[in-house]
Structure 1
Amino acid sequence: MTVGVCGVALAAALTAPAQAQGPDQEAALESARESSQGPSGGKPPHWELKDSGTDVRFRGLAAVSRNTAWLAGSKGTVLRTADGGRTWRNVSPPGAAELEFRDIEAFDSRRAVVLAIGEGEASRVFRTEDGGATWTESFRNTDAKAFYDCLTFFDRRHGLAMSDPVDGKFRILSTSDGGRSWEVLPSVGMPAAQEGEAGFAASGQCLVASGPRDVWLATGGAARARVLHSSDRGLTWTVTDTPIPAGDPARGVFALAFRDRTHGIAVGGDYRADQASPQAAATSRDGGRTWTTAATPPPAYRSGVTWLPHSRTSALAVGPTGTDLTTNGGRTWHTVDTGSYDTVDCTSDQACWASGEKGRVARLER
């Protein structure tokens, strides 16, 4: 089950250096055209499904390299591959079958941190240092009003997790030792939440970081879909409205991707299958202070988004009805695959992975 993802445009995005100029750029594009046909004039880059051996839904994905990726999903399931998806090892934490894992962040093939969502003690964080052979529960929420949605890391030591509003403000959890211990940050620097505002634990991308200190938080479910930004690792925040439709518990910004501290993409919409999702994507060129609606947005709700490796202009967005590609920084999108995926992630060695319902996981093949 493989579907062509792009042809020349995506191949160029994956292979041409972002800084190429003039004749060098032309040579890179020509090389991309040749490589897009494969070694024997075969298929262009495409999603190739990998057999995960399970039917759980994987909304959590951490792509480490072309060979190594981690999945986190329902029924307390964590899988890891070290051979490009040919085989998957079940490395789920013992006794976690009742938990819903929705986000996972991996530092390499052995160290990872996974987040379980839910009210009260259902929200937990686990950490492994041996490829999932053993796990340590490093955080268990004891506040019945908190519901954690996403986590992110700035580096191997510093990271944050976010909860839906508690007492009128989003709650931020912080670690400075790679997820071994966590503390709740003061809420004094957090703007007040709107009535009904929350994060969406749909793809592990409602909280994302870029660089050593910048982090963004996506919201929905209220009158306006907003993005919050912190430049001091979560101590103080600013907030901006986005043009992505809101006004309903099922609508808002579901995922963010920043390729640096300035250029960002937001995707979302209405997750209900029978509802339209106009204006399902927006872009920012000033670190999230302002957002502009995509001129040609994805045609439906999208829950995950990622910049393509080493590209300043190309990104992928995924959702239950397909994958969309932009090659101009998010201004216009076109559908390149109709398979169902919840989240997507790319790595520095030019590998992209996607995962979703019914055990679906795929790697971009070239």
Structure 2
Amino acid sequence: MAAGMCGAALTAALTAPAQAQEPDRRPPHWELKDSGTDVRFRGLSAVSRNTAWLAGSRGTVLRTSDGGASWRNVSPPGAAELEFRDIEAFDRKRAVVLAIGEGEASRIFRTDDGGETWTESFRNTDARAFYDCVTFFDRRHGLAMSDPVDGKFRILSTSDGGRSWKVLPSDGMPAAQEDEAGFAASGQCLVSSGPRDVWLATGGAARARVLHSSDRGLTWKAADTPIPAGDPARGVFALAFRDRTHGIAVGGDYRADQPSPRAAAVSGDAGRTWTPAAQPPPAYRSGVTWLPHSRSAALAVGPTGTDLTTDAGRTWRTVDTGSYDTVDCTADLGCWASGEQGRVARLER
């Protein structure tokens, strides 16, 4: 109950007009933290208000345990040529990080000691595969997804916390469209909610789709979304589900000189159907997260700003103009965002 009240208070503070704020007190806002580097952090996993993990270019993994006041470089040794795009942390000691790319560039590492040591638990040996995102249902069960191989998205599965992986059968995966793929833009092209439900976001083809599985990736059903498609740079870039029914999709066209109308959509039926936001974000968005303990508030981020919804994704308004690629919140109201040029911030209130 206390956490729910705090979540409601945070939402109220975010949406209050400036004149309604207490004198000499700023409304909730992103406060930049010095990461000490200029790499691009598209991978982010928030554990709490104090602890967060970042994963980015040049094989970089950082971790903070003091709310971003300091960051420790815990990058896997010999990984400087890799491009980390997703990280899933279970706590301040245990995490799984995904490197993307064609063939052997796609790899998964796990640490159990806060990044002191890493074990490479998967290396892709199929030149046709390109892994984009990873997600976990709990501390043991997780999935990773690759762009289509032989006309279908490929799914990896783990049941031991990412220590070992196996390719799932493709029988239950619908056929991919021509040129359809996932976007490794924020670590949110594959997301889960609860013990069995998982969703996969696509783009680059005639229709931008969301695929849903209710059996941990064995069988999938595809649904079209109203988010712009029809070009390799357009589609759904990120998903967030606050439970197995209510979801938000964001995306658009990642090219800076191209407009992104209909950059957000919502679902109230586990992703079977999607409705365009009545007032979408004004531009392409690559990351999205629900605010903790709220049934109606969420944040979306992209290179041109952060947008807030307080009606479960139907309407959005810009609350910050800083550049971020991804965003993540925790139960103790710890919201983090990260992006280009080493940018990382925590929501302060």
TM over 0.5: yes
Which residue of structure 2 lines up, in the alignment, with residue 160 of structure 1? 143
Is it true that 1:58 corresponds to 2:50 in the alignment? Answer: no
Q: Given residue 68 of structure 2, which amino acid in structure 1 is its aligned partner?
A: G
Q: Deviations over 1:108-139 (max 9, x none)?
A: 00000000000000000000000000000000
SS in 1 for 2:204: coil
Q: Distance in 1 between matches of 2:6 and 2:287?
A: 19
The change in CA–CA distance for 1:187 and 1:29 in structure 2 (over 3 A counts) is closer
For the aligned residue pairs, the C-alpha RMSD in angstroms reads 1.8
Which residue of structure 1 lines up, in the alignment, with residue 125 of structure 2? 142
Which residue of structure 1 lines up, in the alignment, with residue 304 of structure 2? 321
Q: Deviations over 1:330-363 (max 9, x none)?
A: 0000000000000000000011000000000000
Identity %: 85
> In the TM superposition, what is the alpha-carbon distance from 1:14 to its structure 2 partner?
5.5
Q: Given residue 98 of structure 1, which amino acid in structure 2 is its aligned partner?
A: E
Q: Given residue 235 of structure 1, which amino acid in structure 2 is its aligned partner?
A: L
Is it true that 1:284 corresponds to 2:267 in the alignment? Answer: yes
- Structure 1 outlier segments of 4+, above 4 Å: none
The change in CA–CA distance for 1:96 and 1:228 in structure 2 (over 3 A counts) is same
> In the TM superposition, what is the alpha-carbon distance from 1:16 to its structure 2 partner?
2.0
Instruction: Verify the 8 A CA contact 1:303 1:317 in the aligned structure 2.
Output: yes
The change in CA–CA distance for 1:285 and 1:13 in structure 2 (over 3 A counts) is farther
Instruction: Verify the 8 A CA contact 2:53 2:62 in the aligned structure 1.
Output: yes
Is it true that 1:16 corresponds to 2:8 in the alignment? Answer: yes
Structure 1 residues 20-59: aligned runs within 5 Å:
37=21, 41-59=24-42
Instruction: Verify the 8 A CA contact 2:7 2:291 in the aligned structure 1.
Output: no
> In the TM superposition, what is the alpha-carbon distance from 1:42 to its structure 2 partner?
1.1
- Unaligned 5+ runs, structure 1: 1-11, 19-27
SS in 2 for 1:195: coil
Is it true that 1:269 corresponds to 2:267 in the alignment? Answer: no
Which residue of structure 2 lines up, in the alignment, with residue 305 of structure 1? 288
Q: Given residue 296 of structure 2, which amino acid in structure 1 is its aligned partner?
A: T
> In the TM superposition, what is the alpha-carbon distance from 1:37 to its structure 2 partner?
4.2
Structure 1 residues 230-249: aligned runs within 5 Å:
230-249=213-232
Q: Given residue 7 of structure 2, which amino acid in structure 1 is its aligned partner?
A: T
Q: 1:184 aligns with which of 161, 167, 191?
A: 167
SS in 1 for 2:58: coil
> In the TM superposition, what is the alpha-carbon distance from 1:301 to its structure 2 partner?
0.1
Q: Given residue 174 of structure 1, which amino acid in structure 2 is its aligned partner?
A: S
Which residue of structure 1 lines up, in the alignment, with residue 79 of structure 2? 96
Which residue of structure 2 lines up, in the alignment, with residue 77 of structure 1? 60
> In the TM superposition, what is the alpha-carbon distance from 1:13 to its structure 2 partner?
8.8
Q: TM-score, normalised by structure 1?
A: 0.91
SS in 1 for 2:104: helix
SS in 1 for 2:173: coil
Which residue of structure 2 lines up, in the alignment, with residue 295 of structure 1? 278
Q: Given residue 78 of structure 1, which amino acid in structure 2 is its aligned partner?
A: V
Q: Distance in 2 between matches of 1:352 and 1:285?
A: 24
Q: Distance in 2 between matches of 1:163 and 1:17?
A: 40
Q: Distance in 1 between matches of 2:233 and 2:5?
A: 33
Which residue of structure 2 lines up, in the alignment, with residue 209 of structure 1? 192
Q: Distance in 1 between matches of 2:97 and 2:5?
A: 30
Q: TM-score, normalised by structure 2?
A: 0.96
SS in 2 for 1:15: helix
Q: Distance in 1 between matches of 2:145 and 2:12?
A: 41
SS in 2 for 1:255: strand
Q: Distance in 1 between matches of 2:277 and 2:93?
A: 39
The change in CA–CA distance for 1:173 and 1:106 in structure 2 (over 3 A counts) is same
Which residue of structure 2 lines up, in the alignment, with residue 123 of structure 1? 106
